[in-house]
């Protein structure tokens, strides 16, 4: 049977089940739908009807099964109530529709993208006729190629746990993690998962690019609650060391601009800058080469000098 015949049949079934509030018995459906009437046997009809019913329900069409009143538990028939079917009355302004259009384009990832597009198509019929005030001037994409991204979103939505292999920065092998996912966060262009690490029994932050292969959801839905009022973006920030030590750095005029921007205070080209991770800060400073000199603290100065020596040794070797 061709696809167009099936779409037509599904649509006619939909109309039949919406035609009255009274449930329609299966036998009546067999009479009014051409393909059902023409099916060679009762069995063939049953199979066809079950498939169609599943397809319609899969699209979100609310087909109700009404049991008979004789107490036998038998099925009297099926119906679709118009109010249960139709999108509630709502009116969007032209500007609101433009913003919805922008949102529908956010997902580069195929399954999320097509869901958002289908939603938009429906909502676009609910415009109030007003015209767009002006261009939105923004184009946003979540274009991550992380294969786990849609899996994690779906797991957060259904509150299912996920399992994945997580690679540590300096190790070839990863270890298995079981996590109740709470949210995903973009920080400086990278994606992170925030959630409750089941084995370690505490909240943890994971970088998506270090998940080897794909995360897999497991176990039942609604398996956990996301704690009320958690701020996943704040959790990422908290997971990075806080700035606790203050350094004095001499910066040549006009140099190390990004560093100077972070200074608490600058006088006579000496900047006060706070940092958390000495190693990370030392490596940043080495990047500025001879345009900065660490004046204090002594340990930071020593780390920078040691790194410069390493650098010279490595380049001389190569």
Considering only residues 21-40, where is the footprint of other proteins by CB under 8 A? 32-33
For position 11 contacting other proteins by CB under 8 A, the verdict is: yes
For position 299 contacting other proteins by CB under 8 A, the verdict is: no
Q: Which stretch binds other proteins (CB under 8 A): 70-78, 129-137, 196-204, 262-270?
A: 129-137
Q: How far is the CB of 67 from other proteins (least distance, A)?
A: 23
Alpha-carbon gap, residue 25 to 74, rounded angstroms: 11
Nearer to other proteins, 70 or 129 (CB): 129
Choose, by CB under 8 A, the member of 10, 151, 205, 271 that binds other proteins: 10
Q: Do 247 and 265 meet the contact criterion of CB atoms below 8 Å apart?
A: no
Choose, by CB under 8 A, the member of 187, 214, 239, 243 that binds other proteins: 187
Alpha-carbon gap, residue 240 to 316, rounded angstroms: 35
- Within 13 Å and on the Cβ side, how many CA atoms surround 311? 11
The pattern of x and - marking residues 196 through 235 that bind other proteins according to CB under 8 A reads -------------x----------------x-----xx--
Q: How far is the CB of 237 from other proteins (least distance, A)?
A: 6
What b-and-e string marks burial along 173-191, b requiring 16 or more CB atoms within 10 Å of the CB? eeeebbbbbbbbbeeeeeb
- Nearest alpha-carbon partner for 241 in 203, 211, 296, 281: 281
Structure tokens at 147: 């294969």
Size of the site for other proteins (CB under 8 A): 120
Q: Do 67 and 75 meet the contact criterion of CB atoms below 8 Å apart?
A: yes
Structure tokens at 116: 């958002």
CA distances to 18, 208, 237, 273 from 187, in Å: 49, 11, 9, 22
What DSSP string runs through 96-119? HHHHHHHHHTSB-SHHHHHHHHHH
Q: Which stretch binds other proteins (CB under 8 A): 53-61, 70-78, 212-220, 262-270?
A: 53-61
Choose, by CB under 8 A, the member of 131, 134, 244, 253 that binds other proteins: 134
**Taking CB under 8 A as the criterion, which residues in 66-105 touch other proteins?**
82, 84-93, 95-96, 98-100, 102-104
Nearer to other proteins, 7 or 264 (CB): 7
**Taking CB under 8 A as the criterion, which residues in 237-296 touch other proteins?**
237, 254-258, 261, 283-284, 286-290, 293
């Amino acid at each position: 049977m061709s696809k167009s015949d099936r779409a037509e049949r599904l649509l006619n079934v939909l109309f039949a089940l919406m035609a009255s509030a009274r449930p329609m018995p299966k036998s009546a459906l067999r009479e009014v739908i051409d393909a059902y009437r023409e099916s060679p046997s009762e069995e063939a009809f049953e199979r066809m009807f079950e498939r169609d019913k599943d397809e319609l329900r899969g699209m979100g069409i609310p087909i109700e099964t009404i049991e008979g009143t004789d107490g036998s538990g038998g099925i009297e028939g099926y119906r679709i109530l118009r109010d249960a079917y139709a999108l509630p009355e709502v009116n969007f302004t032209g500007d609101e529709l433009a913003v919805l259009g922008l949102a529908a384009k956010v997902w580069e990832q195929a399954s999320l993208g097509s869901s958002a597009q289908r939603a938009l198509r429906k909502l676009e019929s609910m415009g109030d006729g007003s015209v767009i005030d002006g261009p939105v001037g923004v184009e946003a994409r979540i274009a991550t190629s992380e294969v786990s991204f849609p899996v994690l979103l779906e797991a957060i939505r259904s509150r299912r746990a996920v399992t994945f292999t997580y690679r540590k920065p300096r190790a070839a092998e990863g270890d298995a993690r079981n996590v109740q996912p709470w949210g995903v966060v973009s920080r400086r262009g990278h994606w992170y998962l925030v959630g409750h690490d089941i084995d370690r029994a505490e909240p943890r932050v994971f970088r998506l690019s270090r998940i080897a292969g794909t995360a897999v959801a497991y176990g039942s839905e609604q398996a956990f609650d996301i704690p009320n009022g958690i701020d996943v973006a704040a959790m990422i920030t908290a997971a990075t060391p806080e700035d606790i030590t203050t350094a004095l750095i001499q910066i040549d005029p006009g140099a190390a601009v990004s560093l100077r921007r972070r200074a608490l205070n600058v006088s006579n080209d000496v900047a006060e800058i706070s940092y958390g991770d000495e190693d990370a800060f030392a490596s940043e400073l080495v990047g500025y080469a001879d345009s900065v000199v660490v004046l204090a603290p002594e340990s930071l100065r020593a780390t920078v000098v040691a790194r410069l020596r390493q650098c010279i040794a490595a380049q001389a070797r190569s």
